[in-house]
Structure 1
């Protein structure tokens, strides 16, 4: 395949997590718009497929990481007859690098040397441009550049079924402005204290907002929701464990704001235009915050770098995680309330102008 010829087939490998999978969707849209005849196959995680698996024009191959080696063999078997012009290997974890060995592709595009790890360099033969200071979505978008494209427009349009919209409309009926609160991240040290969530939720309720807790059905998420509810003086809706990924997307599309740490729901909200009050101390919002609009995030990442690493954020490697016990305590309730009020005022102005 010549360097800038149109590929007949491309395999995308990004199995997880929810937020990162949303970042792949604009790349899919870029490839489809430029090369509508190119067949796209996406190896994606079992949970993540529930969110994006109905994207039109894409063949999905599910990787069940909980199945271990059997999961890898299943992917290899599903792709046995496939021969791709290019593989976009967008995940550097050792498991994904091993998984990619079963993919037959002439060109194998991976990360630059600085962002590669876990033997990534052994499974690729081309690399994306070496850049620092990029948001994760832009880094993923750059995987089309070695193929001769440039991602200049970001579009999601992740399908949401009518059933999901109907369910969300039933939960959040009427026109009352709604604050959703998704209190947990899969990284426990990114989570904020229950009583601080409750203080912000009580403030929003006192200002006439409808407040609803959202989250998955896991015991950890149920426990976190119960702790927040116990600390509230108001009575928020509790939707924890009641929705699906598609129903959450529909719910986010009806809400005005989402309060959350760096998490999958943060990026799901961003895809449907729901404003995000992101809580960032353990991670850098300029790298992994809500892509479209980070004005409403509370950013204590620099303070965390100074406290825990002894230097400003500008002097630590881009993308460094500062997941230390107590790091999220750097985010004060008053700072979050200030961002809530600023975002609410912005939305009121937009409605009247």
Structure 2
């Protein structure tokens, strides 16, 4: 199996398999925009998770095929049946999770391009016949662009422009009327064991009250529909002196994108909606105590990140960013406690002082190549 793939001319058809999660699916969008810019005649198909298709299912010029991730062999057979009369020139297997590898079996393709061995797992190499070149210690989005580098496209079109329906914008306008600048707070990451990425409700509340008091902002709480997220959002609201607009569990993905589009800034931990904030074009104040923002942080908002990952690695794992495995997490319940309220309010002050143009910037920290758009 070769470690690279070059093309002499754009393929007639190309299929991407990237099922989840929300943040990673959001990262795929500028890759697609770049493909559309440089290979405008190539027919693009994207096999994506059914939930995630609610966000990206209407991308212009892309055939989006929703895939039920928990559907097992039944869903694989359904995918095969839908694509039974198709054979793609090129498959980009952009996810190494086992169910994504298996989903790729439903796509017939001459060339199946996957990750290099260093970024592979779950037998990924068995599902592909070409690999991209190694490019270690990079942001997840940079890793997706490595697929294009392998095909000879070195430039980047860092555009998202995910369609927002007018009814979603009307929903956002109804719940966020007036002209006060909006601060969105998405307090929770995904619900999973030993997660510990969530900051403390009372500290979110202190930041929210500061935003109202010092910047005259309207605060909106956002998040998913799980009981845990709704309870967490209510805890933040209950701890506030000022009344927020609590939309936790009350928005579709398109409505959430419209709310973020209407916001001046977003405060969030390492979670998918943080990357939706990037797609919406707003500064994201990312809270990083357990994961490395230069790997998974909001791609255009590294300057606004509150980064306590290095000190937590030293404190709880007795290692450094340079020595740790790329992507190593700090698994400790006290890690997010290293982030103080004043850390976040200082970033908010800076965001509010930073006028319009250039509010978000490419990542340029250790291990990131985001600033090099024309590599």
Shorter chain as normaliser: what TM range? over 0.9
- Partner residue, 1:306: 314
Q: Which stretch has the larger CA shift, 339-348 or 290-299?
A: 339-348
Aligned length: 351
- Partner residue, 2:271: 263
Q: Could you say what secondary structure the match of 1:87 adopts? A: strand
Pair 1:206-2:205 in alignment: no
Structure 1-normalised TM-score? 0.95
Pair 1:235-2:239 in alignment: no
Is the contact between residue 31 and residue 157 of structure 2 (CA under 8 Å) also seen in structure 1?
A: no
Pair 1:138-2:142 in alignment: yes
Structure 2-normalised TM-score? 0.90
Tell me the CA shift for residue 339 of structure 1.
1.2
Is the contact between residue 126 and residue 146 of structure 1 (CA under 8 Å) also seen in structure 2?
A: no
Tell me the CA shift for residue 350 of structure 1.
8.6
What is the rounded CA distance, in whole Å, between the counterparts of 1:253 and 1:322 in structure 2? 32
Is the contact between residue 85 and residue 106 of structure 1 (CA under 8 Å) also seen in structure 2?
A: yes
Pair 1:183-2:187 in alignment: yes
Q: Could you say what secondary structure the match of 1:313 adopts? A: coil
- Partner residue, 1:282: 290
- Partner residue, 2:204: 197
- Partner residue, 1:245: 253
Q: Cα deviation per residue 1:144-188 (whole Å; 9 max; x = unaligned)? A: 222222242211111111111122122222221111111110154
Flag the structure with higher helix content. Answer: 1
- Partner residue, 1:128: 132
One of 191, 198, 218 as aligned partner of 2:226? 218
What is the rounded CA distance, in whole Å, between the counterparts of 1:142 and 1:157 in structure 2? 21
What is the rounded CA distance, in whole Å, between the counterparts of 2:94 and 2:348 in structure 1? 35
- Say what the alpha-carbon RMSD is for the aligned residues: 1.8
Tell me the CA shift for residue 348 of structure 1.
8.2
What is the rounded CA distance, in whole Å, between the counterparts of 1:110 and 1:151 in structure 2? 20
Pair 1:80-2:88 in alignment: no
- Partner residue, 1:104: 108
Q: Could you say what secondary structure the match of 1:31 adopts? A: helix
In structure 1, runs of 5+ residues without a counterpart are: none
Is the contact between residue 27 and residue 151 of structure 1 (CA under 8 Å) also seen in structure 2?
A: no
What is the rounded CA distance, in whole Å, between the counterparts of 2:6 and 2:320 in structure 1? 45
Q: Could you say what secondary structure the match of 2:303 adopts? A: coil
What is the rounded CA distance, in whole Å, between the counterparts of 1:169 and 1:204 in structure 2? 20
Q: Which stretch has the larger CA shift, 315-324 or 261-270?
A: 315-324
Pair 1:90-2:94 in alignment: yes
What is the rounded CA distance, in whole Å, between the counterparts of 2:239 and 2:6 in structure 1? 62
Is the contact between residue 57 and residue 64 of structure 2 (CA under 8 Å) also seen in structure 1?
A: yes
